[in-house]
Structure 1
Amino acid sequence: MKIVADENIVAVQQHYTKHGELALLPGRSIRPEDVRDADALLVRSITQVDRKLLEGSRVSFVATATSGTDHLDLDYLASAGIAVADAAGSNANAVVEYCLAGMAELICTRQFTLHNKTVAIVGFGHVGSRLYKRLRELDVTCIVCDPFVEEQSRVDRGRHEELRHVSFCDLATALAAQVITLHVPLTRASSHPTFHLLDEARLAQLASGTLLINASRGEVVDNQALLRRLSDRNDLLTLFDVWENEPDINQDLLGLVSLGTPHIAGYSVEAKKSASRMSYNAFLRHFGLQVGFELGIEELVRRRVDVVLTRENSISDERCWAECVRAAFRVPDIDRRLRVPANGQSAALFDAIRKSLAERREFSNYAFDQQLLDGGYVSERVANQLTQLGFTFRGSEPARE
């Protein structure tokens, strides 16, 4: 058996070499001649898998270590009898934490507050539903725009009991919210297509001061239309992780967004391991091999997060949790790296930054010093909120600097 794989998939050598010949390649450089005699193809979102790549090959199985599948021509793969496996939901928590960290940065720099704001979550799948839960735990008012899930909740209320208290709305209502966060798949042929869901007309409707977050797919927002809107009146707050034409993104648009990152919202050690586990077990099932996946037992040794807080009455609970989240995941550090002049090599810089962030850990790997709580720097309410986000409070000895 021959297996062709993206070289950056976690544990790919560790697990696939035992099943045959393994060829590791840069994801953006996989060509038809590379897969001609392959039986399985393992990719990430940067590889377009379609007729042009696979026709004439003997590939019978394609796995993507990603939640999204817009880089796969699913119609062609089905017609060719090629089995497909994705890793839907594997990076949901990482994306949620990215969104919270981005909002935390804007809160800490006094550009934004969630107080008395309504957050419109567009797309209520793995990411959107989890973000909704986290924001509600922070006492944030949320509305949801997802016509598919809304219809499911109507058809079978008993089966979807957890949706009973969700406030669904149409897209026009969502776009009138003070915060709009996009978590939809990229679709074109659908009753509710998401390609350029936010086009020129809809972007023009956004009120001054609106925070717009896109951590779904770049093509969900018309980047040229957004560039025109921000060039004409840059009165929006914008947190953008995904772009049209990645990795060769629009540098003028990057210069105008509030925070910009190179499609890394879902990047974390935990997300990558989960995606690899899902892909590998699907591979084993497809080829009739024994199912089982181990990445080695890893002891959870929480890293200590250093955060500077005061006991002044002037610091709100919101600012307090935001400072703590910001200390664990600093989105502006990535933003600054992406804005460095690249002398015509912006696409290479985009990919290099992505590769360098392979060791990002999720909030569950971090601990705050118990003295923050005992000393009155963090209220019980904020401590509970941070615990719900995955953090812990503990003494100095177990945590790692």
Structure 2
Amino acid sequence: MLILADENIPFSKEAFGHIGQVETFNGRALQNEDLKNANILLVRSITKVNESLLKDTPVQFVGSATIGFDHIDLNYLQKHNITFSRAPGCNAISAAEYVVSSLLILAKLKGFNLQDKTVGVIGCGNVGSRVIKRLEVLGVQCLPHDPPLQEETGDTKYVNRDTVLGADIISMHVPLITSGKHPTLHLANKAFFEKLSNNGIFINTSRGDVVVENELLYKLKTQPTFNAILDVWENEPNIDPELLTLASIASPHIAGYSLDGKVRGTEMIYHALCKDLNIAPQWKALDGLPKPGLLSMSFSENIDNADLLYQAVTSCYDSRDDDSLLRQTVIDKKQGLSFDGLRKNYRARREFSCLQINLANDKVEISQQLSQLGFNTKLL
């Protein structure tokens, strides 16, 4: 059995090797002829899986180690009895931590108190709900907006479009949907940005195509106090260098790229394939995971809680590191780097849960706050 796996799916050979022969591929370069002998296809979001890719191939299982499925032609798979599995929620913690880190950094750079801002969260599924939970732990008022979820649940907590666009900060966490009652393609358009505060902040970690980038560019160029935190872009990997220049924080589609999140994605499609083939799983996700570079931090009783929080978060993940590398790649055209190269060679970033925070015995409140953000805390 031949298993083709995207080169950016971690531990693919370790996990799937007992099932069949595993070969890896470049997710943007995969073609139909590459699949002539493949039984299993494992992808990430950059590979379009449709008739042109799968026609006249023996592929019987497609696994996507990602949350979304806009890159998958589900109708074609169903019509040809090809099993499909994905990994909803696998990188949600990582993406939420990216938002928290970026907002704390921007607040420090721009000199505002995050607790004084309202955050409109558009899309309240796996990622959006975790963003809300973490921001509320920090004392930030969140305005959730998710028409499909509101219709499904009848929950009155969701606010309407006008209300959410009145927030100080907008954070996008929607799937890319091109048709139907609630399409998200170009959801953030001219009318959208016209409603946002000229002093506002726009965050997008969902999909680049939910934004009309020319309208975002216009907002940034005409309103110098408007800020954008961008992890996803139209036309990836060929992103707009002008938009990159104007963004406050920018990164190469890696918000959900913690090692923990990617391994969860591998684990989820691995178990789905084992179930489909009716074989017992042998690989355990924790096998072979490297130790975090930073295992623990200790703080004295004299440190201010806000400074402690900032240091803990940014020591675990600082989005300025990814921002700097992306600007070197696109603007400075640094030799040997590329948008996809940054993703392929991404460091082993670990989530907050991998870091233990040691605190003075009287730091009970901040200890509870850090625990709710995902850190392991210990009062000494």
Shared fold, TM over 0.5:
yes
Report whether the alignment pairs 1:42 with 2:42.
Answer: yes
Task: Give the secondary-structure state (helix, strand or coil) at the position aligned to 2:116.
Answer: coil
Report whether the alignment pairs 1:6 with 2:19.
Answer: no
**Per-residue deviation at 1:182?**
0.7
More displaced stretch, 339-348 vs 90-99: 339-348
Task: Give the secondary-structure state (helix, strand or coil) at the position aligned to 1:112.
Answer: coil
**Per-residue deviation at 1:384?**
1.6
8 A contact 2:219–2:226 mirrored in 1: no
Question: 1:118-144 deviations in whole A, cap 9, x for unaligned?
Answer: 211111111111121222222221111
Matches of 1:301 and 1:57, distance apart in 2: 40
Query: In 2 relative to 1, CA 255–120 (structure 1 residues): closer, same or farther, beyond 3 Å?
Result: same
Report whether the alignment pairs 1:357 with 2:349.
Answer: no
8 A contact 1:248–1:346 mirrored in 2: no
More displaced stretch, 185-194 vs 105-114: 105-114
Decide which of 183, 204, 219 is 2:173's aligned counterpart.
183
Query: In 2 relative to 1, CA 180–293 (structure 1 residues): closer, same or farther, beyond 3 Å?
Result: same
**Per-residue deviation at 1:204?**
1.9
Question: 1:80-122 deviations in whole A, cap 9, x for unaligned?
Answer: 2211100000111111101000011112224432223221111
Matches of 1:325 and 1:345, distance apart in 2: 29
Decide which of 296, 304, 311 is 1:323's aligned counterpart.
311
Task: Give the secondary-structure state (helix, strand or coil) at the position aligned to 1:4.
Answer: strand
Query: In 2 relative to 1, CA 307–170 (structure 1 residues): closer, same or farther, beyond 3 Å?
Result: farther
8 A contact 1:32–1:52 mirrored in 2: yes
User: For residues 342-381 of structure 1, what are the structure 2 equivalents within 5 Å?
Assistant: 342=330, 349-370=338-359, 373-374=360-361, 379-381=363-365
8 A contact 2:47–2:71 mirrored in 1: yes
| TM-score (norm. length: structure 1) | 0.87
**Per-residue deviation at 1:172?**
1.9
Match of residue 67 from structure 1: 67
Matches of 1:82 and 1:384, distance apart in 2: 47
Match of residue 367 from structure 2: 383
Report whether the alignment pairs 1:332 with 2:316.
Answer: no
Query: In 2 relative to 1, CA 205–16 (structure 1 residues): closer, same or farther, beyond 3 Å?
Result: same
| TM-score (norm. length: structure 2) | 0.91
Match of residue 87 from structure 1: 87
Matches of 1:327 and 1:307, distance apart in 2: 12
Match of residue 146 from structure 2: 146
Task: Give the secondary-structure state (helix, strand or coil) at the position aligned to 1:255.
Answer: helix
User: For residues 2-401 of structure 1, what are the structure 2 equivalents within 5 Å?
Assistant: 2-154=2-154, 167-297=157-287, 303-304=294-295, 311=302, 317-340=305-328, 342=330, 349-370=338-359, 373-374=360-361, 379-394=363-378
**Per-residue deviation at 1:242?**
0.6
8 A contact 1:142–1:167 mirrored in 2: no
Question: 1:230-275 deviations in whole A, cap 9, x for unaligned?
Answer: 1222321211111111111111100001000001110112111111
More displaced stretch, 81-90 vs 10-19: 10-19
**Aligned-partner residue type, residue 352 of structure 2:** F
| Structure 1 gaps, min length 5 | 155-162, 397-401
Task: Give the secondary-structure state (helix, strand or coil) at the position aligned to 2:114.
Answer: coil
Matches of 1:13 and 1:91, distance apart in 2: 21
Matches of 1:100 and 1:93, distance apart in 2: 11
Matches of 2:307 and 2:152, distance apart in 1: 37
**Per-residue deviation at 1:339?**
0.5
Question: 1:281-340 deviations in whole A, cap 9, x for unaligned?
Answer: 11112223224541355799673455888948xx5x445423321222111111011101
8 A contact 2:114–2:140 mirrored in 1: yes
**Per-residue deviation at 1:362?**
0.3
8 A contact 1:121–1:180 mirrored in 2: yes
Matches of 1:122 and 1:223, distance apart in 2: 17
8 A contact 1:242–1:263 mirrored in 2: yes
Matches of 1:238 and 1:197, distance apart in 2: 16
Matches of 1:55 and 1:308, distance apart in 2: 59
Matches of 2:133 and 2:282, distance apart in 1: 31
Matches of 2:378 and 2:167, distance apart in 1: 38
Query: In 2 relative to 1, CA 217–51 (structure 1 residues): closer, same or farther, beyond 3 Å?
Result: same
Query: In 2 relative to 1, CA 299–20 (structure 1 residues): closer, same or farther, beyond 3 Å?
Result: closer
Query: In 2 relative to 1, CA 325–235 (structure 1 residues): closer, same or farther, beyond 3 Å?
Result: same
**Aligned-partner residue type, residue 249 of structure 2:** L
> Number of residue pairs matched?
378
Matches of 2:315 and 2:347, distance apart in 1: 19
**Aligned-partner residue type, residue 132 of structure 1:** I
What root-mean-square deviation, in Å, do the aligned CA atoms of Structure 1 and Structure 2 show?
2.5
| Structure 2 gaps, min length 5 | none
